[in-house]
Amino acid sequence: MKHFITRFLNLVACFYDPFLKLTMDEEKFRQEIIELANLRSDERVLDIGCGTGTLVLMLAETLHSGHIYAIDVAPKMIMVARNKAQKEEKKIDYRIGTSTALHYEDNYFDAVFTTLLFHHLNFEGKGKTLREIYRVLKVDGKYISAEFGKFPDNFFHGIIFKFTRSSGLLHGLYPIELIDQCGLLIVKEINGPILGGDHQVVYRVLKKDIG
């Protein structure tokens, strides 16, 4: 499944930004995510599954003296993101990598972001990703997520589920029970935009559960 996703994202990398402009108000969407983090200007942050780096560039406008790291499994997504950062003269640490094995130290980041990532992951991948986020997040750090809620139970999605047996769609897009098992705690949850007519996005702010 991972290799299929990588091939697919590499294929669409050059068309990704124009497609989003046609289908959503991406700047508003990304800005709402950033506002949830309530960042200072000097923090160290990570964007997992950064795509073409739009959120990262917006973070750079807030973190004037901070450090921004970003990873994506698709090399061509990272290539597009690096080109955009170079044009904007922004210093971003971009790396090719997977959410299930983050190559960063423990307790390293003040904030971690994921945006529409978890529906690409199977159940095992979701758990590994959440445990890795827990590991690299500082004790007082924040994990900001913008992920799909449950997909509608209709004929169209039934057909999709039928042909995606290894997909995270079959295991719930963002299972609450995994959050508890991985040591995270939801401190805020609000509904975001509805994409594609009936796909509800849910914003969450999470922290380490050290109580």
pLDDT tens track for 93-120: 999 999 999 999 999 999 999 998 988 8
186 vs 209: CA distance, rounded Å: 9
Residue 116, pLDDT score: 87
Mean pLDDT of 186-196: 87
Say what the pTM is. Answer: 0.86
At residue 51's C-alpha, the angle toward residues 49 and 57, to 5°, is 105
Question: What is the arrangement of strands in the sheet containing 184-195, beginning at the earlier edge strand?
Answer: 93-96, 67-72, 44-48, 109-115, 137-148, 199-208, 184-195
Q: Is the pLDDT of residue 1 over 50?
A: no
Confidence bin at 38 (pLDDT 50/70/90) = very high
pLDDT of 139-184, one tens digit each? 999 999 998 877 666 666 666 666 665 556 655 667 788 898 999 9
β-pairing, 44-48 vs 67-72, is parallel
Q: Is the pLDDT of residue 192 over 60?
A: yes
* Nearest C-alpha neighbor of 48 from the set 111, 139, 91, 107: 111
Do residues 29 and 195 touch, judged by C-beta distance below 8 A? no
145 vs 197: CA distance, rounded Å: 21
Region at 99 (left for phi over 0; alpha for psi -120 to 50; beta for the rest): alpha
Residue 157, pLDDT score: 62
Residue 29, pLDDT score: 87
